[in-house]
C-alpha cells in the first residue's frame, strides 16, 4: 500500500482493543489523534515507544492529542503488554494488518538479508476533521512523542 500524505482522509478503522472494546476512528471525531503502528508488543523498541507515550500522556492530552497504538498482536497479547508496563491508552489489534496496509504502515522489510512483509513503524497525526495532518514513516521509537509534540506546536 502507498503511504498517506498530508491532507489525505485518514482511513477508517474498527478494531478491538486490549479490553475487548471496539474502537473506531469516528470515536475521535472532533479531536486530534496520533495513530502509531508498532511491530510486536513487549519487544525492546516497541516497549520503548509505548512507555514514551505512557510517560507523555498528560502532556499530549494537555495539547489536545489522544493516542492509539496498533499492532498485529491479538488483544490478549496487547492486554499483557498493557499490564506489564502500566500503559494508559488503547492498544488496537490489527491481526490481518488491513489497517496497517491502509495507513501505509505495512510493507517490505529486511533483516539479515532476508526480505519479508511486516509493520513499518509509523506515526500518523490525524486532525479533528479526520484528515492526515502529518506522517512519520520508519520513525524511531524514541522520536514518536517529540515529533508529535513538535507538529502540535507548529
Is 46 one of the annotated active-site residues of the chain?
yes
Q: Under CATH, which architecture does the 14-153 domain have?
A: 3-Layer(aba) Sandwich (3.40)
Report helix, strand or coil for 1.
Answer: coil
Residue ranges of domains in the chain: 14-153
The whole-model pTM stands at 0.95
Count of C-beta atoms within a 10 Å radius of residue 76:
11
d(CA 130, CA 112): 38
Task: Report the pLDDT value the prediction gives residue 141, as an integer from 0 to 100.
Answer: 96
Three-class DSSP category at 142: helix
Residue 90 sits at φ, ψ, to 5 deg, of -65, 135
* Cα–Cα dist 94/86, whole Å: 21
- Condensed to tens digits (0 to 9), the pLDDT of residues 97-117 reads 999 999 999 998 888 889 989
**pLDDT value of residue 95:** 97
Q: Which of 33, 46, 53, 119 is catalytic?
A: 46
Whether residue 108 contacts residue 7, with contact meaning beta carbons closer than 8 Å, is answered with: no
Amino acid at each position: 500500500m502507498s503511504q498517506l500524505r498530508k491532507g489525505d482522509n485518514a482511513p477508517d478503522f474498527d478494531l478491538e482493543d486490549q479490553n475487548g472494546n471496539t474502537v473506531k476512528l469516528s470515536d475521535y471525531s472532533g479531536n486530534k489523534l496520533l495513530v502509531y503502528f508498532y511491530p510486536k508488543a513487549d519487544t525492546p523498541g516497541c516497549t520503548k515507544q509505548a512507555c514514551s507515550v505512557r510517560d507523555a500522556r498528560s502532556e499530549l492530552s494537555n495539547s489536545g492529542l489522544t493516542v492509539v497504538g496498533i499492532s498485529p498482536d491479538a488483544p490478549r497479547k496487547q492486554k499483557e503488554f498493557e499490564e506489564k508496563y502500566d500503559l494508559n491508552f488503547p492498544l488496537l489489534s490489527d491481526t490481518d494488518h488491513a489497517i496497517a496496509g491502509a495507513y501505509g504502515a505495512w510493507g517490505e522489510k529486511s533483516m539479515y538479508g532476508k526480505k519479508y512483509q511486516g509493520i513499518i513503524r509509523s506515526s500518523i497525526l490525524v486532525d479533528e476533521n479526520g484528515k492526515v495532518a502529518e506522517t512519520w514513516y520508519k520513525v524511531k521509537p524514541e522520536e514518536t512523542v517529540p515529533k508529535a509534540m513538535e507538529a502540535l506546536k507548529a
